[in-house]
Amino acid sequence: MTWDNQPPVLPPRPPTPPTPAGTWEPPVPPTWGSGGPGVPVPPAPPVPPVSTPAPWGGAPTPPPERGATPSGPRRSNSFLRVVVATVVVVGLFGLGFGIRSLVDGNTTTIIRSSAGSGQVTTTAVTIDPGSEPIAYVAATVSPSVVQIETTNGVGSGVAYDTDLFITNAHVVGTASTVTVRDSEGTAVKGQVLGADTGTDIAVIRAIGLAAPAAKLATAKPNVGQIAVAVGSPYGLEQTVTSGIVSAVNRPLPNQRSFVINMIQTDAPINPGNSGGALANRNGEIMGINSSIYSETGENTGIGFAIPISTAKRVADQLVAGKTVARAGLGLSGPSSTPSGSAGAYVQSVTGGGAADKAGIESGDLIVAIDGVPVRSFDELRGMASGYSPGDKVVVEVNRDGKILEVEVTLGTLN
């Protein structure tokens, strides 16, 4: 490191003793495709067009050494040159520091306790969500976010029920047990109840942690609203970042060609953030952070989270020991419409399938599902990921210039 203006020359001093062993150095994040044993590793893809980034790849961030003394961050420039035009899977774990939140009306009181010389002192801090919404969300959400450690690295999880934690399937990989650490530093062994690579959701049961179930959002997110991510980028534990919801219903295919309509955010998330929480200003979990689009391997303001409605539905099926079933309409179509109009063009209908039984025909243009506009066939595929087979939806169809409403009972996607 050099300075523009050098300091004055000082008299010689005794030599500085060498840095003691165990000096902390930041972990080097994994490069693309560093999956664990048994996890398929895709080849490094060519530079993808911005409009269709591929959302998954890579392993969780390797865990940093604990108990070591920081000597100042250093960055590997060679790593930054390795990952080019890829989407990096990221991981996230919670902000904690032994904080407990007490909600009273429109404020949160945080009690921080410190012990020393046999005495315990307590300081109360009140946070007004109106003037300090990010701090309020951090204090509300952080106790429910845990760190997940595997032999392949570190990720994150969110408590959503008693002793149950949602995370990413790529965080747990093929492991049957993991280490789960709460915001107070307590670590226990957790059992992986199941993982679904199609949606990149997994569930872990861990008993004995001080991690209350987070409040899950029921309302759909809106573009422009506050988004708060809680996590551990590059192994820097207990980090909170914030931004906005940049887009909703962003269709992204994964390695299994299963499309999920994601929440896009510019809240900084980086390698080390996977499986963590994306929360709204009320401290409600609206998504599980999963991936970023990047040309360097670092955050560039384009991150993606799995909507909590999708994550919770899949998690419930995994806890029940069921195979995650995919909902489908039983039709196919091109990515863009022949006329250039917004919507999902129906090219063919599967005989006896859900669409066929409801009367949808080839040549129809699907423009909305349950009142939510459909702009493309890829977006229609992603919408299906939010439903289960047997669910009934109202499909708006443009047929020869006339808008028809058709009720469809969704089938199972093969």
Q: Return the half-sphere exposure (C-beta side, CA atoms, 13 A cut-off) of residue 402.
A: 4
SS percent in the chain: helix, strand, coil, step 5: 10, 35, 50
Distance CA(192)–CA(167), nearest Å, equals 10
d(CA 249, CA 305): 11
For residue 98, is it left (φ>0), alpha (ψ between -120 and 50) or beta? left
Select which of 142, 170, 183, 291 is catalytic: 170
| Residue 161 is a catalytic residue | no
196, 200, 364, 378: the active-site residue: 200
Whether 290 is catalytic = no
Which sign does the torsion angle of CA 217, 221, 226, 231 carry?
positive
Which residue in 156, 242, 246, 274 is the catalytic one?
274
Distance CA 145, CA 66 (A): 19
In degrees and rounded to multiples of 5, residue 378 shows phi and psi of -60, -40
CA distance 271 to 36: 15
Tokens of 115: 């012990």
Query: Residue by residue, what is the 3-state secondary structure of 322-349?
Result: CCCCCEECCEECCCCCCCCCCCEECCEE
80 near 298, Cβ under 8 Å? yes
Q: Residue with structure tokens 């949808």?
A: 360
Q: What are phi and psi of 291, to 5 degrees?
A: -160, 165
DSSP state of 228: E
Is residue 47 within 8 A of residue 296, CB to CB? The reply is no
Active site residue 200: yes
Q: What does DSSP assign to residue 197?
A: T
Burial of 330 (0-12, 13-18, 19+ CB in 10 A): buried
Our measurement of the distance from residue 164's CA atom to the centroid of its chain's CA atoms, rounded to an integer in Å, reads 17
Number of DSSP helices (H) and strands (E) in the chain, helices first: 6, 25
Task: Kindly list the catalytic residues.
Answer: 170, 200, 274
